[in-house]
Amino acid sequence: MKIGFIGDVVGKPGRLMIKRHLTRLKQEHFIDHMIANYENASHGFGLTEKNCIELLGYGIDTMTGGNHSFDKKEILNLFDTYPLIRPMNYPKATPGKGIYETTILGYETAILNLMGHYTMPMADNPFTMIVEVVKGLKSQGIKHIILDIHAEASSEKQALLHMLKDDVSAILGTHTHVATDDLQVRDGCCYVTDVGLTGCSDGVIGMDSAVPVKRLLTGIGGHFDVPDECRSLLQMVVFELDDDGRCVGAEKIKIYDDKPKIVTKAWMDT
């Protein structure tokens, strides 16, 4: 099976890039299931029901979240209706769940969402939790396991690779909005520290540069806004899994505005 994964979708520019390009990319790369991170999809903070329906209509099948999952309070009523998850290490009383189980081409598949420690909201220990969750899924015979690790620290994401590479199919980093150049397939596990944003490419992490620059120069903050007009970027990882849930190949796709796509193959350890 082939899985596509889009990192943090930032505001309207990110949604429009998905609208323009995703249908064609799914056909060109034979993608069977499409995942995207929704936590910045509605003007940079959270997700509305309107934008949820919009993204699903463009061809997204499942959506993962992060520390901004609950910025739009209407999401509290969406988890039971739409294929949305939030980080599993939020408290148990938090609405939603951190695992989405589905069947893709006849294979039971689990899509997981986890949030790191550093600079993140108070949550349970992600490392001890994910080990037990993966062990439980494996005991059920589920071999196709895909993890979105939403974390600030690259070290936390890389540590998860060494902890889980023998037991999960893919570990895909989100949150920083800045893509890393380390897409690899290690011991049958697809890994990248951060997929990078889909949205404005000429600001600061998808936002207008004025407020972050002012904050750096003066120490005075402000509200981050997604620009109405900008140069846009779509970033996506596509990876292929065999019958045993092991990754046999991966590539990174980038598209700037309407220019030809750039495809980079993952480093393979075999």
Where along the chain do its domains lie? 2-268
Model confidence at 51: pLDDT above 90: yes
| φ and ψ of 119, to 5 deg | 65, 5
pLDDT, mean of residues 80-88: 98
Catalytic annotation on 68?
yes
Q: Given pLDDT bands bounded at 50, 70 and 90, which one contains residue 122?
A: confident
From 33, 68, 175, 177, the catalytic residue: 68
Please name the residue that has the structure tokens 């402000």: 222
pTM: 0.97
Q: CATH number of the domain at 2-268, please?
A: 3.60.21.10
Q: Given pLDDT bands bounded at 50, 70 and 90, which one contains residue 249?
A: very high
Q: Given pLDDT bands bounded at 50, 70 and 90, which one contains residue 167?
A: very high
Q: Given pLDDT bands bounded at 50, 70 and 90, which one contains residue 228?
A: confident
pLDDT, mean of residues 166-170: 98
Q: What is the pLDDT of residues 25-41, one digit of tens each?
A: 999 999 999 999 999 99
Q: What is the pLDDT of residues 144-166, one digit of tens each?
A: 999 999 999 999 999 999 999 99
CB 37 within 8 A of CB 47: no
In this predicted structure, what is the pLDDT of residue 246?
A: 98
